Structure 1
């Protein structure tokens, strides 16, 4: 499968590839797309996830040269036309849906309107007023889910060397991610909890994380007591085990920090 490397992001656009990554390889990634409150493709992978897949000969890293070129005026015009067309199409769909939704209640709405205005109003005018209450704008438009790169970047691609990704991670993080994956866990980004990785016993859609992993690059470098205390308390506050991971001769060592209130 192809991992698209653009703007320092490693993206997966294909729905088929996304399903395969999640089901067969326990690779979750992070949603980049969004349609209102619903996350959508593409997904962004961690450097460790991408390197793991490349090492397993499951994927290759590619780049689309056309995306490196400054967009032309014609591209912006095409984009603006697409947005206008989408807004008009969604406005039409919304009105049809809203019309069906109002049909059982429109008579009651008309009567209530007449009482409020103390005047007669037609059903069609009330219906049109209700249908025009909501406008599809740039802020609330629902963009389609991208299941592959846009047409303008299809075709020509170049393969990117794995060394590019190595600059965005460390050998310790790569080894720790691989070790946790081989133990059967699901592993995701742990930055929001102050770590490098979050570890799950099953798919995160059904399980909560059980460990916060922080990778220590130099196991001989002393850690300040305040760092250990803060990391241990953080794990306890979010009901997860705080774990330090180090690498020694290609072997991963784990140390769990437990916080006890005495």
Structure 2
């Protein structure tokens, strides 16, 4: 399996290649955080707005599973040498040539569509100069060739693509140190949920928890659970009430997770009884 290159910065991983991101999302349920927001439902890869940022927990899991390797692109802050500058200029010229080709083809197609009228107009002009009608002939191919040469010299609007991923190979170096600093208990719970419960997982900061759980891809499903990680099995009553009342307001199931004295992870689910009754009915 070819490992995905992830740029490490401040214990987070940045992905700039859309195919790599889709591989992690749809194959491994690593969703990251899209810096840009899709303008529509992501029917294709082009609807995703990169770059994507992996949380420290996602980064540590992906490294442990061997799906990714970390790279360092700080060398890109150095000025490019002559060879790199020449390659970039060549790429830009190729982009401009690719833009000009459809422009020329479109203008020629329009010219050919009106070619009979153009030929007739030129013949009339030749006849007005008192040329004999047999000599007043117009070569269609010559007209097309002349028009093509004229169009190719025209100025057109130009678009310069700015790639998210550096276009030149060898623009980064591998990082040997793959240690990611995370809360040990929270990571263990994150990994246990990913391994054994088949949820998509994201940060729970927006709902006052540690993690949010989704039954499917978050671009199509709302979060169904809010996870609160407890340092011990002792739970303050006021904290319990705050968490449960918030989960009821946002229509989510509240889960408290802790590690017992034997090292076993325990999940305690709290749900409003009105939701339970509705489900039973």
Q: Same fold (TM over 0.5)?
A: yes
In structure 2, which of residues 1, 12, 15 is the aligned counterpart of residue 12 of structure 1? 15
Q: Does 1:174 align with 2:177?
A: no
In structure 2, which of residues 238, 241, 249 is the aligned counterpart of residue 237 of structure 1? 249
Over 3 Å counting, the alpha-carbon distance change for 1:184 and 1:35 in structure 2 is closer
Q: Residue 27 of structure 2 aligns to a residue in which SS?
A: helix
Q: Does 1:215 align with 2:229?
A: yes
| TM-score (normalizing by structure 2) | 0.58
Alignment of 1:1-262 (within 5 A): 1-33=4-36, 40-66=49-75, 69=77, 146=164, 149-151=165-167, 155-163=171-179, 165=180, 167=181, 169-182=182-195, 183-216=197-230, 218-220=231-233, 222-248=234-260, 249-259=262-272
Q: Which has the larger radius of gyration?
A: 2
Q: Which structure is higher in RCO with an 8 Å CA cutoff and minimum separation 6? A: 1
Aligned residue pairs total: 191
Task: Select the structure that is richer in strand.
Answer: 1
Q: Residue 161 of structure 1 aligns to a residue in which SS?
A: coil
Task: Structure 2: state its 5+ residue gaps.
Answer: 41-46, 81-91, 93-98, 100-160, 275-281
- Deviation of 1:14 (Å): 1.3
Q: Residue 243 of structure 1 aligns to a residue in which SS?
A: strand
Over 3 Å counting, the alpha-carbon distance change for 1:242 and 1:55 in structure 2 is same
